[in-house]
Structure 1
Amino acid sequence: MRAVISGIPGVGKSTILTMVSKKSQYEIINFGSLMFDMAKELDLVKTRDDIRKLEVDTQRNLQKATSNKLGKMDNIIIDTHMSIKSPAGYLPGLPAWVLTELMVSSYFLIESTPEEIMRRRENDPTRSRDEDTLKDIDEHQQVNRYYAVAYSVYSGATIKYIYNPDNHPEIAAENILMGL
């Protein structure tokens, strides 16, 4: 089985996945980290946040190589983004060539209110995030929902929306574990 867990930056995905990893038999693989390792080897980026600033064709080539590698693995949860907000617009995180390789059976989309996400971003000094307004955050979550539905139609996988309330990521983690 391959499941995808997604959410926009600052939604609390990493915290939730840490909890999920302690209670499940699945290996959690971060799609962006694999892309970063490949991009770094090619001397294309210095930080992980630089990936979304690469030319769209370069990002696509990195997606293809990463999905090829993940498509050979079983019993994994893939930590990734439904969409990547780039200077050129929203880039699909799971375009057709990625979905074909991955053969996903379930999508879990983690969401929070724009205000909660904004607070989390402001309190996370480990990342260099774009300056988004509450409206931008809401738009990105809506785009993710649209992309998730499109991916589901293409792949036949289920979608489960998971709300991550402030200060209670264990609730979101339990909801994911029940759906695996």
Structure 2
Amino acid sequence: MPFVVMITGIPGVGKSTITRLALQKVNIKFRLVNFGDLMFEEAVESGLVHHRDEMRKLDPMIQKELQLKAARKIVGIARKEPVLLDTHATIRTPMGYLLGFPREVIETIRPNFVVIIEATPSEILGRRLRDLKRDRDVETEEQIERHQDLNRAAAISYAMHSDALIKVIENHEDKGLEEAVNELVGVLNLAVREYD
């Protein structure tokens, strides 16, 4: 049976860093799969984009087709080994917010757990401003807060369509990265016990 833990959070929340560090401490080997990378590979093969940040500007119907292709690949991987799926619950596009996992896509993947990484809007904004490697749209703290609210709502919808459990992990500057990492390690170890 496929086993997937989905980890989400808006850009700048520290999701990828927490994920990478947690995988070094967890008791069982998870295969880290980045949903956006799979979609990007599909889009490049189809000649649709050249750079990852162009993805969110594609027509929403094309994005949905790429999502479904990526979902099928994930299920194939998850049949062989547990998957930790690094992804975004919602994507901000020029026309509005796009669900990262429309119904057909979430029902294809059927994650066992949905983990949401959050921080305050000011923390996220500060991290984005310090990250010069990405070409990100500028958002206000109010827009960042709205995006996190939409992520929570999306996670509830995903859980409804997959029977997944939801876990929120706070990644605050004063709390310390190590505490957030340890919390994710606890979730992954629990997930594996449930899987066995």
Normalising by structure 1, what TM-score?
Answer: 0.97
Q: Distance in 1 between matches of 2:84 and 2:67?
A: 17
Does the CA-based 8 Å contact 1:82-1:94 persist in structure 2? yes
Alignment of 1:1-180 (within 5 A): 1-24=3-26, 25-74=29-78, 75-166=82-173, 168-180=176-188
Q: Distance in 2 between matches of 1:29 and 1:171?
A: 23
4+ residue segments displaced more than 3 Å: none
- Secondary structure in 2 aligned to 1:40? helix
Unmatched tracts of structure 1, length 5 or more = none
Q: Distance in 2 between matches of 1:171 and 1:37?
A: 34
Q: Distance in 2 between matches of 1:155 and 1:38?
A: 25
Deviation at 1:100, TM superposition (A): 1.6
Alignment RMSD, CA only? Answer: 1.0
Q: Distance in 2 between matches of 1:18 and 1:179?
A: 14
Deviation at 1:34, TM superposition (A): 0.9
Q: Distance in 1 between matches of 2:54 and 2:158?
A: 25
Q: Distance in 2 between matches of 1:144 and 1:3?
A: 16
For 1:75-121, what per-residue CA distance to the aligned partner results, in whole angstroms no more than 9, with x for missing partners? 00000111011112111101111112112100000000000000000
Q: Distance in 1 between matches of 2:113 and 2:76?
A: 17
For 1:6-53, what per-residue CA distance to the aligned partner results, in whole angstroms no more than 9, with x for missing partners? 000000011111101212311110000111111112121111110000
Q: Distance in 2 between matches of 1:148 and 1:175?
A: 18
Does the CA-based 8 Å contact 2:75-2:109 persist in structure 1? yes
Question: Partner residue of 2:191?
Answer: none
Q: Distance in 1 between matches of 2:105 and 2:181?
A: 25
Q: Which has the larger radius of gyration?
A: 2
Question: Partner residue of 2:193?
Answer: none
Deviation at 1:64, TM superposition (A): 0.7
Normalising by structure 2, what TM-score?
Answer: 0.89
Deviation at 1:175, TM superposition (A): 0.6
